[in-house]
Amino acid sequence: MVLLAIVLGTLTAGIGSVWLAALLSFGVLARYTQHMLSLAAGALLATAFMHLLPEAFEGQTGAHKLFMALLVGLIFFFLLDKAELWHHGHEHHQHAADKAHLEGHDNVPAGGNWAVLAGDSVHCFGDGVLIASAFVADLRLGVIASLAVLAHEVPHHMGDLMVLRSGAGNKRAAFLKVSLAGAVTSLGGLAGYWLVDQLQEYLPYFLVVASSSFVYVALADLIPQLQKRLTARETVAQIGWLMAGIALVALVSTLAHTH
């Protein structure tokens, strides 16, 4: 009974949050692609600094170890970006960059896509472990934890979808990739059910590594795209959407923790 509840709860939280994010990103807000990039940057930074890192430092793990994990994570995603660019070839990347510049379109490098997916998967795995821990303690607590994870993942997945769509230009591919990452929540739930005591010790590291991917993508891929000459009105809109991403994550995280 508990195992079935964990599977249902993690699927609802992991996949359901992606579906809701897709409805918002590709439906109601689909016309505001450039604004959504600003919102994505704000959402990713807020998820890292206002949700993941504070939770990681609430545990008993030493700050020095967690900061080392954060540094290693940032370097890892930097190297992942480099490896992806090397794989595609310098000339191909330069041609794509020149073409984007000439056409006035900005694309997220493919390495940024991998960083988002890797960080998202780690994050979702950690969410699954948390949900499993809640269900093991009490079924009602597990339901609340599942709904809380679903709520705070929606703005985060909106950011992921916009990053991936900006890189590939394909809504379906972006949706599929983020859905697969969201499904990792169930793997975390299953692992948490069998190894809840052992994995609890490593949860802070999951949170820190996930946060490092979001910080890297926001600062290395998204923020540089926003640093271009704009009119005063466009600049205000850009900053407004950036702050909206931060506020949205802060709001749903606060509500999730409150309930």
Mean pLDDT of 88-117: 51
Measured CA to CA in angstroms, residue 199 lies from 4, 10, 35 at distances of 20, 17, 39
Mean pLDDT of 15-25: 82
What's the confidence (pLDDT) of residue 84?
Answer: 57
Question: What's the CA gap between 223 and 245, in Å, rounded?
Answer: 13
Please say if the pLDDT value at position 107 is more than 60.
Answer: no
Scan for tokens 């490092």, then name that residue. Answer: 212
Q: Which of 202, 150, 163, 167 is nearest to 18 (CA)?
A: 150
Q: How many domains does the chain have?
A: 1
What's the confidence (pLDDT) of residue 68?
Answer: 94
What's the confidence (pLDDT) of residue 90?
Answer: 45
- Decide which of 89 and 208 is more confident: 208
Q: How confident is the model at residue 29 (pLDDT cuts 50, 70, 90)?
A: low
Please say if the pLDDT value at position 91 is more than 70.
Answer: no
Displacement of CA 54 from its chain's centroid (Å):
16
Are 55 and 123 in contact by the 8 Å Cβ rule? The answer is no
Range of the domain at 200: 2-258
Dihedral sign from CA coordinates of 147, 43, 56, 4: positive
- Decide which of 80 and 228 is more confident: 228
